[in-house]
Structure 1
Amino acid sequence: MSTSLTADSWPLGKGISMSVLQNPLRTRVHATGEEPFNVPPHWHLFHEEHHVILKGRIRITQDGVAHVVGPEDGEVVTPAGVVHSIESFAGEETIIEETTRPGVDTTAQKILFFRNMFAPGVLQSFLSTMQVFYYGDAYPVLPLGIRWFEWLMVVVMGGWVAGLLGYQIPDKRLRLDQRRFPPKKKD
């Protein structure tokens, strides 16, 4: 496997990269094991995620229940509304692929979410991160675990305050939550 990165591949951390693959459309995270790949607890209102572990193991926690899964376990589905996190193991090479439902349009939007989230400077700014969460149907888990408050924080900080202060997401095509951004009707 090549370690060079293309326009369809970008670094996430030391020894960790994300790639966009086709046929079917999906993302792939490759962690060499230099440092663990870690996705903090979050949830989605609109879409579900499907993960397949091709190499190594991950610890996936869904609504507080942790499971260690590997290639032999098949597809792991995280339904909309379920709080989840993912963590690979230090020193283990791990390859994970993700698709989303409903449909390929949702996966295409999820790729735009990742491109926005990992654009330069976004993760270093709370308001930029909240704005990408707003457009990308992602809600961080806060200490009290009150879903309506987590949703409200993303809407207020990412949907209103960030825009009022002039923040803009890098790729404005991101409109993942179809409840908030319904697809335009075709004539």
Structure 2
Amino acid sequence: MDKPVIIGIAGGSASGKTAVAYKIYEYFKGKHTIKIIKLDDYYKDQSHLTMEKRVLTNYDHPFAFDMELLVKHLDCLKAGQAIQKPIYNFELHNRAEEIETIYPRDVFILEGLFVLNESQIRQRCDILVYVDTDADIRFIRRLQRDMKERGRSLDSICNQYLTTVRPMHEQFIETSKKYAHIIIPEGGSNTVAIDLLITKICSIVEE
């Protein structure tokens, strides 16, 4: 295979994007080389800002991401070149000092909020997937995740959801659903949709 297959997975916050990505990853692991890339790692560097100002950033707007760097990295990966991917630290609201070297693979899974929203990213993906999950389920999942894994308080999670997460979802993410080749309701629990997606990926990889 001359070029890798790139699968773009988008959907609302805590919709199950990561669960779908890992179901695909587990299937191909051992059969083909595969790597998951998270859009979250491409949040812009905020080292020049104080913690107080970093907290005020709207992290649910496309402008919070370094899309230019991501597009450059996708082009490198499609050309068979390694990249130096940033790593994001959610507790510091900034990129970590460490970076991750990602080498060429047969399959890449790019998952994140705005994967379908950005035309330059869509153009570089072979399959576009939207994970569609009800808002109340997504909020509960986000609440549990951010308190347990990201060190956030209940008040900060609720405030962020009402002021930025929900309105940005309605403006940018929900409207990007129209670009999806495949829509998966309920995320990782939808085994039928995931099996169909895997079958399609297999057909592309084997060409």
Q: TM-score, normalised by structure 1?
A: 0.30
Q: TM-score, normalised by structure 2?
A: 0.28
Which structure exhibits the higher relative contact order, with contacts defined as CA atoms closer than 8 Å and separated by 6 or more residues? 2
The structure that is helix-richer by fraction is 2
The structure that is strand-richer by fraction is 1
